[in-house]
Amino acid sequence: MAAESDAWLELHGVTAVLDTTGGWRRKSSALDGQSWVREPPPPPGRRQHLQLPAEDRADFNIEPLLRRGVDFIREAIGAGGCVLVHCHAGVSRSATLAAAYLMEEHALSVRCALRLLTEARPCCRPNPGFEKALVGWEMRVRV
């Protein structure tokens, strides 16, 4: 996983990491879905890290995490940084946080934000519960 490689993060100029996995990592070469380990957050260093543990389930309430995630991304970018937002597959949780940021920062609709994301990463697709949360987010940020 790119987020675990300090060399990859350095190469791509990543100064801040938003982790929605809750610190869970698949053991190397584990394909059975059962071999997971929980790692502590990285020690303070050059990069800012924020862990916002989210479960990729339609019934998981991601709304309380959106504000913290958007603020973290905005602050890092505002300081001239580059942010990696990640989950395990880069499909639902990370896409939801990235879409919320785009919606608020650029006054985009859910549809426009998700279109931008899928142009950059075609597999982005928030689960139905997260998409519903983004619709609520849109109503709050586009007042």
Q: Which residues are catalytic?
A: 87
82: Cα within 13 Å, side-chain hemisphere: 7
Pick the closest to residue 124 from 90, 81, 75, 86 (CA basis).
90
Integer distance in angstroms from the first to the last C-alpha of the chain? 38
Helix axes 63-78, 128-141, angle to 10 degrees: 60
- Residue 143 and residue 128: Cα distance in Å, rounded? 23
Would you call 17 helix, strand, or coil by DSSP?
Answer: strand
